[in-house]
Amino acid sequence: MDCAHGHAGCKQELRPPPCPHCGGPRWWDGAHTCKWLAFLTGSGGLEWVEGQVRRRARCFNPECDHRSSTLYEDQAYPHRRFSPAVAIAAVTELLWRGGQALAEVAKHWNCSTWTLVRWLEWIGGIIEFALLLKVCLACDPSGIPPPAYRVRQEPVPPGPAWMSRMALVESLILMFELLARLLRDQGVALEEGPGLGAFLRYQLDRFRLVSWLTKPSPRLLFDWLWPGG
């Protein structure tokens, strides 16, 4: 830990970093060991990590709305068992293979079919397509996305309700790829990898916003992209 005041080895050096929500000092508040966590490897495969320790920290500020929270260290994105990168990769495979391959894709990623459908719904509800299109046009007014990036106007096939959202989810993933390319061209420091994952990481680093796979999450912020934002 960096010591904001004092010399090396001082008490402040041993504390957690300041609270990301209010900037106040924090102290350690226990830890827990995760039995198994799933991550995406550099080659696009699934990797299970056993026994990762996650420490917690408590904010000194009694008025802070986030008194105790888990620290996701080593640039880890907050998640429970499956990382968002795994979810995005699994949904992308499902879109490529088609809804009839739901069971096979779920088996490939070692998750249940219910979990895979939940990930599909998570991406489908992360932002409205019209707003994402507006954001891309604001980044590059001359770079209107090609038709393949628009929501397909196709008849909804018979089957479960989630299958009717596959075209929308595919369009969102492609639009996030376009947005990531536009932002990188403008010098915005996005991590490598899929556009959606890179944008979520940027939202975490800049605004401390987390998009959870398992519970309601705050809306993504785009005001900084507008003039004066």
Instruction: Compute the average pLDDT of residues 54-66.
Output: 87
Please state which of the ranges 68-72, 152-156, 176-180, 192-196 shows the lowest mean pLDDT.
Answer: 152-156
Tell me, yes or no, whether 159 and 47 share the same domain.
no
Tell me, yes or no, whether 79 lies in a domain.
Answer: no
* Residue 145 binned pLDDT confidence (cut-offs 50, 70, 90): low
Tell me, yes or no, whether 142 and 206 share the same domain.
yes
Tell me, yes or no, whether 217 lies in a domain.
Answer: yes
**Tokens linked to 155:** 């008849």
Tell me, yes or no, whether 88 and 157 share the same domain.
yes
Tell me, yes or no, whether 118 and 213 share the same domain.
yes
Tell me, yes or no, whether 5 lies in a domain.
Answer: no
Please state which of the ranges 5-14, 92-101, 115-124, 195-204 shows the lowest mean pLDDT.
Answer: 5-14
- Residue 78 reports pLDDT greater than 80: no
Residues in the chain: 229
Instruction: Compute the average pLDDT of residues 183-209.
Output: 85
Count of structural domains, the chain: 2
Instruction: Compute the average pLDDT of residues 19-43.
Output: 82
CA–CA separation, 202 vs 208, rounded Å? 9
Tell me, yes or no, whether 114 and 205 share the same domain.
yes
Query: Mean pLDDT of all residues in the chain?
Result: 79
- Residue 126 reports pLDDT greater than 50: yes
Tell me, yes or no, whether 32 and 89 share the same domain.
no
Tell me, yes or no, whether 40 and 149 share the same domain.
no
Residue range 9-20, pLDDT digits in tens: 445 558 888 887
Q: Which residue is it, tokens 């039995």?
A: 35
Tell me, yes or no, whether 77 lies in a domain.
Answer: no
**Tokens linked to 190:** 């996005």
Tell me, yes or no, whether 186 and 148 share the same domain.
yes
pLDDT at 26: 92
Tell me, yes or no, whether 100 and 37 share the same domain.
no
Tell me, yes or no, whether 108 lies in a domain.
Answer: yes
Tell me, yes or no, whether 157 lies in a domain.
Answer: yes
* Residue 5 binned pLDDT confidence (cut-offs 50, 70, 90): very low
pLDDT at 99: 86
Tell me, yes or no, whether 169 and 61 share the same domain.
no
Other beta carbons within 10 Å of 190 = 17
Tell me, yes or no, whether 7 lies in a domain.
Answer: no
Please state which of the ranges 38-42, 86-90, 106-110 shows the lowest mean pLDDT.
Answer: 38-42
48 forms bridges with which residues in the sheet?
A: 38
For residues 98-117, one letter each, b for 16 or more C-beta atoms within 10 angstroms of the residue's C-beta and e for the rest, the string is ebeebeebbebbebeeebbb
Q: Domain of 45?
A: 16-70
Tell me, yes or no, whether 41 and 107 share the same domain.
no
Residue range 160-180, pLDDT digits in tens: 777 888 888 998 998 899 889
Instruction: Compute the average pLDDT of residues 86-106.
Output: 91
**Tokens linked to 37:** 């966590």
CA–CA separation, 165 vs 87, rounded Å? 16
Q: Which residue has the higher pLDDT, 21 or 95?
A: 95
- Measured over the CA atoms of residue 209, residue 174, residue 129 and residue 131, the dihedral's sign is positive
Tell me, yes or no, whether 125 and 205 share the same domain.
yes
Tell me, yes or no, whether 4 lies in a domain.
Answer: no
Instruction: Compute the average pLDDT of residues 105-116.
Output: 92
